[in-house]
Amino acid sequence: MPECEECGGFVTQDFIRVFGSGGEVHGCPHCMTNRELGDGEATSRTE
């Protein structure tokens, strides 16, 4: 089952395709705002 690398929340394969990079997503609606997702912040790990 696909999940967010940051919080472990469930995400769909389509969500990963749109917001992720390399088959991974480092943020989801559970741990990021829509603005952060729209800005592409889910493609890389936050420090």
With cut-offs at 50, 70 and 90, classify the pLDDT of residue 2.
Answer: very high
3 forms beta bridges with: 10
With cut-offs at 50, 70 and 90, classify the pLDDT of residue 44.
Answer: confident
What distance in Å separates the CA atoms of residue 25 and residue 17, rounded to the nearest whole number? 9
pTM of the model: 0.84
Q: At 37, which amino acid appears? A: L
Domain boundaries, the chain: 1-47
